[in-house]
Amino acid sequence: MTQTTNRLFDDFAKLMTDAAGAADGFKKETEALFRGQAEKFLRDMNVVTREDFEAVREMAQKARLENEALSLRVAQLEAQIATLLPQGGTHV
């Protein structure tokens, strides 16, 4: 009887191990399927990737800084021109 009980427990343990392996495989397959569907949905929606968004954001920041620097330079040049022109007159 003891040997039969041990065999029964061994078979049950093997069954549970196999079931856990199958459940894990099902979980991985389901996650992969869901991930694939989510990626397809985002692609179809024309959603921008984070890398593309970050690259454009950096470009915009750089352009903003250049624009501020150029605006300052234009103001300085206009001030210099104003000092060279006769008082109250404009010369083109």
Asked if 91 and 85 touch (Cβ cutoff 8 Å), the reply is: yes
**C-alpha to C-alpha distance for 8 and 15, rounded to whole angstroms:** 10
For residue 56, what are the contacts with CB-CB under 8 A and spacing of at least 6? 48
**C-alpha to C-alpha distance for 30 and 25, rounded to whole angstroms:** 9
- Region 72-87: mean pLDDT is 92
Q: pLDDT tens for residues 13-71? A: 888 888 888 888 888 999 999 999 988 888 888 888 899 999 999 999 999 999 999 99
Indicate yes or no: pTM above 0.75. Answer: no
**C-alpha to C-alpha distance for 47 and 53, rounded to whole angstroms:** 10
